[in-house]
Structure 1
Amino acid sequence: MSKHKKSNLQWIKETLELKPDHRWESPSGYKIFVANRGAVRFNVPQNWVFEPQEKSFKFMDNKPPKDDCCLEVSFNQLPPRDWSLFPLKSTLRKVVDDDSRDVIEKGEIISVKRQTAKIVWTEIKFIDTQAEPREAFSRICIGLGSNVQCLITFDYWADQAEKLTPVWDEVMRSLTLGLYIRDPQTGLAFPD
């Protein structure tokens, strides 16, 4: 088991040997990302670069500046209450409307039905002008379930959409909120 702590961050990374009968499963070419014992979990490509930030986690296809895309997640633990009436769609619409980039297209809001969570996401197309003008997409997801709220963003170049949209599809398919893991070496959740 290895542990390390970045001096200015509150995250602690643990590396554990999995037991032979473990229940962790992800599609070929993906690994499972789990934050805070299971507050948020989803699958990301196996070989992507992981960079913890002060209040979020970033995954990129390569180390900067050679990266062509960035998937970032942040989350909040909410006080226990009935969040079922929280206006997720209008909250997401406001996030999109407040975007300061040069947005040229806004997509519809898509709802993902889950038993224990409400998940909405949308896509914007914008012109990135950092180097030379180039079209890019940003996908933005808000999830709410089991008293956990998460925000996931995924920015990538428009000409790489065919290669990268399956990554987003797998993140959305595998996104699980508030499934706490009792034994990380086996993947047994609480309650079983």
Structure 2
Amino acid sequence: MISKTFQLRGDHRWKAKAGNSILVLDRGAVRLEIPRAWSVARHQGTIRASDRPEPDDNTSLEITVYHLPHLMDELPPVGELLAQAAPEEADLAHERVERMPIVEDRRGDTASAILETRFRENGRDATSYTQIAVAGELACLLTYAFWDDDASEARRVWQDVQDSLVLGWYVEDPTRGPVVN
């Protein structure tokens, strides 16, 4: 995975909610907003955004993009796909407290499924959201985790991610942003 940071042109058309930055992966395969102060780095085949560098982070988001041109007809519905990716009997590195039912949603041509899990790690309560979003020949896996001490702010950030998540809107010039004719 190649990662580049671009200097934006003065006439760029990227627009983010106040306090946020736009994170664009694979020239627009995935686009979403994260807090401006967060750091972004490659991490074991994914992109990882967090409020602080590891191991001092309190909130983190990992994003993986999949191009599935030949598999789209074979994929199960997105909720089943998530259930297969995160089976209940999975060996977890922490004590699971509660696993919520998978929630499916469709926004435009993007189908998504989200699983919320509450757990304890190192004596602290935490929450994670695992999401699979599929649009066209693209799939995106998002894993978002936070300590419950930070739940109010963390849930606001997650809502911003959800509100801004767009798959498959490619941009020709990332220094300029999307062009609408």
TM-score by length of 1: 0.84
Give the C-alpha shift of residue 63 in structure 1: 1.7
Q: Does 1:78 align with 2:68?
A: yes
**How far apart, CA to CA, are the structure 1 residues paired with 2:104 and 2:73?**
16
Structure 1 residue ranges without an equivalent (≥5)? 1-9
Please give the root-mean-square deviation of Cα atoms over the aligned residues, in Å. 2.1
**How far apart, CA to CA, are the structure 1 residues paired with 2:156 and 2:110?**
22
Residue 79 of structure 2 aligns to a residue whose secondary structure is helix
Q: Which residue of 2 aligns with 1:103?
A: 96
92-101 vs 150-159, greater mean Cα deviation: 92-101
Q: Does 1:119 align with 2:112?
A: yes
Residue 184 of structure 1 aligns to a residue whose secondary structure is coil
Q: Which residue of 2 aligns with 1:136?
A: 126
Deviations 1:53-82 (A, max 9, x none): 241001111122221111100111111675
- The one of 172, 177, 180 equivalent to 1:182 is 172
Q: Is 1:83–1:147's contact at 8 Å kept on the other side of the alignment?
A: no
**How far apart, CA to CA, are the structure 2 residues paired with 1:83 and 1:181?**
26
> Quick one: percent identity of the two aligned structures?
28
Deviations 1:10-52 (A, max 9, x none): 31313223242x3211100100000110011100000011121
**How far apart, CA to CA, are the structure 2 residues paired with 1:135 and 1:100?**
18
- The one of 161, 168, 172 equivalent to 2:158 is 168
**How far apart, CA to CA, are the structure 2 residues paired with 1:40 and 1:84?**
22
Runs of 4+ aligned structure 1 residues displaced above 4 Å come to 80-85
**How far apart, CA to CA, are the structure 2 residues paired with 1:92 and 1:188?**
30
Structure 2 residue ranges without an equivalent (≥5)? none
Q: Does 1:16 align with 2:16?
A: no
Q: Is 1:56–1:74's contact at 8 Å kept on the other side of the alignment?
A: yes
Matches within 5 A, 1:14-53: 14-20=5-11, 22-53=12-43
Are residues 26 and 162 of structure 1, via their aligned partners in 2, closer, same or farther at CA, if it must alter by over 3 Å? same
Which residue identity does 1:117 align to in structure 2? T
77-86 vs 162-171, greater mean Cα deviation: 77-86
Are residues 60 and 107 of structure 1, via their aligned partners in 2, closer, same or farther at CA, if it must alter by over 3 Å? same
Q: Which residue of 2 aligns with 1:5?
A: none
